Amino acid sequence: MSCKAWPKTLLSPCSSSGIGAETAVLFAKEGAKVTITGRKKDGLEATKRCILNAGGKEDDINAVVADVTDASGREEIISSTVQKWGKIDILVNNAGGMLRDTNGSADASASVDVLRKTMDLNVCSVVHLIQLARPYLVKQKERWLTFPVLVGSLKGHQNSCTMRCQKPLLDQMTRSLAVDLIAEGVRVNSVSPGAVVTRFMQTSGVTDADASKVDFLKLSEER
């Protein structure tokens, strides 16, 4: 894939680390203009440095500090991208995470409030971003909407049901949106990578010691 002779604009929410960051780096390396977003400026600066080190151009990077769980943040992400590039060709829905209650629980004993906030992050933010981006995606001749849904998230794991119950929902949403949006010329796909080594577990409340014991290769092989 190359965007050099086929310029594209990529919107990669939650791209201060992990899949979102690597997606932005890959596309920028291939010549795409990218919008990277995240809650922390230092994380976005790190992603920006990675893009530049990979050969991307500073003028082709639009960094937006915004919270995808906030409606105004989502609106800022879209409006900033359109103002900067004039279009959106590709939206990769990277938003996701696992929240825990004060007891460190993310299983069935977690409060309904934890479930609701997790749903806001993993599902509602995605739906709203699609709604906001849809008019701009439809205008382009070639456009994509992609959902990264981790393979491990489609299987049951201890103390994580409040998050994992929502990943199959995104998988099914992909199938339905693919049918709905193809009539408008928008291609919708789901990418299911294996476990990715980031600080996702630590930001979800897992200690460094416990995270170091996780066999990521084994998780990646699970189907």
Please write the tens of the pLDDT for every residue from 100-137: 766 776 666 677 888 888 888 888 999 999 999 999 99
CATH architecture of 9-216: 3-Layer(aba) Sandwich (3.40)
**Nearest in space to 64 (alpha carbons), one of 86, 50, 47, 89:** 47
Q: Name which of 96, 86, 99, 107 is nearest 35 in CA terms.
A: 86
pTM over 0.85: no
10 Å Cβ neighbour count for 78? 23
DSSP for residue 58: G
Among candidate residues 87, 1, 81, the one with its CA nearest the CA of residue 36: 81
pLDDT on residue 192: 73
Residue 96 pLDDT: 76
pLDDT per position as a tens digit, 153-206: 455 555 555 666 677 788 888 889 999 999 998 989 887 776 666 655 545 555
SS3 (DSSP) at 190: strand
Please write the tens of the pLDDT for every residue from 26-62. Answer: 999 999 999 999 998 999 999 999 999 999 999 999 9
Per-domain boundaries in the chain = 9-216
* pLDDT at res. 211: 53
Q: Which amino acid is at 6?
A: W
Cβ contact 132:124 at 8 Å: no
Q: In the prediction, which pLDDT does 50 show?
A: 95
Q: In what order do the strands lie in the sheet with 90-92?
A: 61-65, 33-38, 9-12, 90-92, 143-148, 186-191
Query: Which residues are paired to 148 by β-bridges?
Result: 191
Distances (CA, A) of 13 to 50, 64, 157, 167, 217: 16, 9, 26, 17, 26
